[in-house]
Amino acid sequence: MMMHLSLKSSLLFPEMHILTLIDNMRVRAMKNDTRADAHAIGHTDYLLKVGEGKVPNAEGSCIELPKCFNVVYSPQELVATVQ
């Protein structure tokens, strides 16, 4: 039943124009802002590369995060990192 309600099965679908996003406006604005933190810009650039599939996969669909992402594995570790 749900398939019959989808947009692709609509008679209007052939008349629609599909738009895709190619630029992250938040990243663009940050790069033009002289007050932006270099770490934040690096973080957003990395996320864009992940989204574009330009970061090599370590195992299957897993990727390795840079050390600057401060990955923690427990709530206690998170609290200790933030304090």
Whether this model's pTM surpasses 0.75: no
Does residue 10 sit within a domain?
no
Does residue 68 sit within a domain?
yes
Q: Pseudo-torsion of CA 7, 12, 15, 20, nearest 10°? A: -20
Does residue 1 sit within a domain?
no
Does residue 77 sit within a domain?
yes
Residue 46 CA to residue 39 CA, distance in Å, equals 11
Number of Cβ atoms within 10 Å of the Cβ of 44: 17
Does residue 18 sit within a domain?
no
List, in sequence order, every residue forming a beta bridge with 59; answer none if it has no partner.
Answer: 62
Does residue 46 sit within a domain?
yes
- Per the structure, the complete domain to which residue 37 belongs is given by 23-82
The total number of structural domains that make up the chain: 1
Residue-wise pLDDT for 49-82, tens only, equals 887 878 877 666 777 777 767 778 888 988 888 7
List, in sequence order, every residue forming a beta bridge with 62; answer none if it has no partner.
Answer: 59
Residue-wise pLDDT for 4-49, tens only, equals 567 778 888 888 888 777 776 776 777 777 766 766 767 777 877 8
